[in-house]
Amino acid sequence: MYKIINKRELNPTVTLMEIEAPLVAAKAEPGQFIILRTDEKGERIPLTVADFDREKGTVTIIFQIVGATTEKLNHLNVGDSLHDFVGPLGKPTHTEGLKKVAVVGGGVGCAIAYPVAKKLHEQGCEVHAVVGFRTKDLVILEDEFKAASSKFVLMSDDGSCGEKGLVTDALKKLIESGEQYDEVITIGPLIMMKFVSKLTKQYGIKTIASMNPIMIDGTGMCGGCRLTVGGKTKFACVDGPEFDAHEIDFDEAMARGAMYKQFERKAHEEACNLFKAEVK
Amino acid sequence: MPNMSLKKNEMPSQAPDVRNKNFLEVTLGYTPEQAVDEAKRCLHCKNKPCVGGCPVKIYIPDFIAKVAEGDFEEAYKIISKSSALPAVCGRVCPQETQCESKCVRGIKGEPVAIGRLERFVADWHNAHSTEKAEKPECNGHKIAVIGSGPSGLTCAGDLAKKGYDVTVFEALHTAGGVLVYGIPEFRLPKSIVQKEIEGLKELGVHFETNVVIGKTISIDELQEKYGFEAVFIGSGAGLPMFMNIPGENYKGVYSANEFLTRINLMKAYEEGSDTPIEHPKVAAVVGGGNVAMDAARCAKRLGAEVYIIYRRGMEELPARREEVEHAMEEGIIFKLLTNPVEILGDENGNVRAVKCVEMELGEPDASGRRKPIVKPDSEFVIDVDCVIMSLGTSPNPLIKSTTSGLETTPKGCIVADEKGLTSRENVYAGGDAVTGAATVILAMGAGKTAAAAIDEKIQGK
């Protein structure tokens, strides 16, 4: 069992949890992910590592409440335990030798973008962080990003915080103003990553996207997480989760990601009924 | 006087039309009377050809003699001298090509039903025995076993019986490997696997689930940091193959591994399981092995009309005869000499059909089987909303890629000598990780051999 030792609501639909998992904490690197189950009948869900503390033996995850499992997870509290917690899985983010990077995060994807920005910042890389949210209430990790970057741009869809507009608008402005990046790392909704990728392709800037498809085992066994990258089938769990964004077939990934949408919605409603919670 | 009936005693089973709607075990096992009667068909040949056909060399005529006497517990003791998992092997071993293929009674009539008797004896023991396995005195030597499938469980059991301090590491949340994620409940009830694992725990074997060797802990660390004197790799062959034809990534196309894992490990078909699965209306399973039969019969139980698409003919189907017969009885439609060339999707990226070509058999190829050749202008389309690719699996590269000095073949199989020793000192391997996808019993045999070699190495120090 894996004990929850810290829990914090980052915004009404996003929660941070610090989990006791010494073996995972000993090895985890930014970009890698874990798979958890809340209980014996639970499904296996992948979540990217948001932070880790090797000395304390803990791993931090940040999740958005989207389905039954995340709803259940959110109802657990400090002192409760997760049934299963396995990792670290996938390959770490490649950060070596990078001198100047734009980290572009969207929504809850910022939770994953943050440790990458932090690691780059710690190794002396110049980090520009561009983060986007729908609205002011959903902003997470603003202070953390500021601390890990030399330039921080906050965007919101409705203009309630930062600048009104999309992350691509901000990134385009930076590039046009003459900023030269070794690499752009983008983590967020597929549609956002698709457009970030489109933009950087025009400028010929190498871009890495972190993918979070449906998966079961996370070790290369089921093939449920397969994507088309550069015309070839890749498994996100073992070949990724990060890939060259200019090679990813985002449209296919979006279709595959929606496979269980209906099931997810229904299960989430049922879970909410169970907890007598409002469906958010 | 032996029972000279030319036929095996039939084993009672659920009627096809009933069982293809539930996940309960298909075959129900012999009654004690049926078992004793069948056991009397054994002629007790002097040269015991059946034993030669068994990869783990069970003393077959000896245990059958005890069944004939009605001493089932003694029969169990004889089997367990050679096999760690009799209730499993009695169900999933291909006896027809092993022990039973050598049986003298098979020359004229049907061989003795060795598999059914093994299953009966193991089930009888599990239902009646109150004896607890005695935990042997620990000899202080630590051994790590990677993977809790048939080879790992056998290796762990054999070493634990000799007093070794054995820890089994499993990547998934439940121990059992392919026995729990691959083989369906209706062919191998999970309670049986659970019972075998409980037995090993009584012997003192530790199980560490949720540990991916190569990711969570490396083999180097097992040896250097955690002090394991020897490591056995029984990580199986879990990497699914696809056909690399257009449309394979449409929604509704699964690897057999994914489809079976959702059903068997995650119990997605049960009320109360959080894991989703689509209930297809018409499913096509591509491939002709045991896994294809399992996937087809699972899809049937979810309510689908199911096709097996296989590029060779009935004679060439690699699945066990019994599995093919069961599948046919349950209403699976066999589209033989047929090969998919493209999967067609709708505007939302869902599978809507599979485009196939007809095949004919030419000259035998390198594998000795007749090579399937495409018939010209034979394209046709089958409307389906689900395609399950069951084309075989290869060993997972996770361990290979994180263990320096571990030699593998170009196909990714770990290289091991006849005792299971790999190119790394004190690291042994066996089962599908070495051979590529094969049978439960061969994996068990490899686990056994490696256990003996590890014991020899450590005691010889």
- Radius of gyration over alpha carbons of chain B, in Å? 23
Of B348, B349, B398, the CB nearest to A219: B398
| Residue A182, phi-psi category: left (phi > 0), alpha (psi -120 to 50), beta (remainder) | alpha
The chain A residue lying nearest B238, using CA atoms, is A221
Within 177-206 of B, beta carbons closer than 8 Å to A belong to: 181
Residue bearing the bigger pLDDT, B35 or A256: B35
Q: Are A46 and A86 in contact (CB under 8 A)?
A: no
pTM for this model (two decimals): 0.91
Closest chain B residue to A224, measured at CA:
B258
Candidate from B212, B257, B267 with C-beta closest to A86: B212
* Cβ neighbours of A208 (radius 10 Å): 23
State the DSSP code for A39.
S
Report long-range pairs for A256-265 (Cβ below 8 Å, ≥24 apart).
A256/A213, A256/A214, A256/A227, A256/B249, A256/B251, A256/B349, A257/A190, A257/A213, A257/A214, A258/B251, A259/A214, A259/B251, A259/B278, A260/A214, A260/B276, A263/B276, A264/A66, A264/A67, A264/A68, A264/B276, A265/A67
- Nearest-Cα distance to chain B for A242, in Å, is 17
Domain with CATH 1.10.1060.10 in chain B: 16-128
Closest residue to B261, CB basis, from A216, A252, A263? A216
- Whether the pLDDT of residue A6 is over 50: the answer is yes
Structure tokens at A216: 């079961």
Q: Is the peptide bond before A241 cis (omega within 30 degrees of 0)?
A: yes
For the domain made up of B242-391, give the CATH fold.
Answer: FAD/NAD(P)-binding domain (3.50.50)
Q: Which residues of A touch B263 (CB under 8 A)?
A: none
Sign of CA dihedral B275, B280, B284, B290: positive
Reference A213, options A263, A167, A260, A166; nearest CA is A260
Q: How far apart are CA A82 and CA B425, in angstroms?
A: 37
pLDDT band at A280 (very low <50, low <70, confident <90, very high): very low
Q: What are the pLDDT digits (tens) for A61-117?
A: 999 998 889 999 999 999 999 999 999 999 999 999 999 999 999 999 998 899 999
What is the pLDDT at residue B455? 96
- Quote the minimal CA–CA distance from B255 to chain A in Å: 6
Q: What band does B365 get if pLDDT is binned at 50, 70 and 90? A: confident
Distance from B306 to chain A by nearest Cα, in Å?
Answer: 21
* Mean per-residue pLDDT of chain A: 92
- To which H or E segment does residue B153 belong? helix B150-161
- For A218: left if phi > 0, alpha if psi spans -120 to 50, otherwise beta; the answer is left
Chain B positions touching A88 (Cβ under 8 A) are 215-216
Compare CB distances from B273 to A41, A252, A258 and report the shortest one's residue.
Answer: A41
Whether chain A has a CB inside 8 Å of the CB on B328: the answer is no
Which residues from chain B sit within 8 angstroms of residue A222, using beta carbons? 240, 255, 257-258, 261
Q: Over pLDDT 70: what percentage of chain B?
A: 100
Q: Give the closest residue to A194 by CA, choosing from A263, A115, A109.
A: A109
Considering only CA atoms, which of B191, B171, B167, B168 is closest in space to residue B179? B191
Predicted confidence (pLDDT) per residue in A125-141, tens digit: 999 999 999 999 999 99
The tens digit of pLDDT for each residue in A186-209 reads 999 999 999 999 999 999 999 999
Cβ-based contacts of B181 with chain A (< 8 Å): 221
Predicted pLDDT at A269 = 79
What is the per-residue pLDDT for B461?
64
Four-way CATH pick for B142-238+394-459: 3.30.1380.10, 3.40.190.10, 3.50.50.60, 3.90.600.10: 3.50.50.60
- Residues B194, B195, B198, CA angle at the centre, nearest 5°? 85
Closest Cα in chain A to B270: A41
Query: CATH 3.50.50.60 in chain B, residues?
Result: 142-238+394-459, 242-391
Question: Cα separation of A212 and A189, whole Å?
Answer: 9
Contacts of B433 in chain A (CB under 8 A): none
3-state secondary structure of B261: helix
pLDDT, average across residues B26-48:
95
Residue position matching structure tokens 């004939």: B68
CATH number of B16-128: 1.10.1060.10
Residue B275 pLDDT level (bands cut at 50, 70, 90) = confident
Tell whether B275 lies on the interface with A, counting CB pairs under 8 A.
Answer: yes
- SS3 percent helix, strand, coil of chain B, rounded to 5, is 35, 20, 45
> What mean pLDDT is predicted for residues B201-217?
95
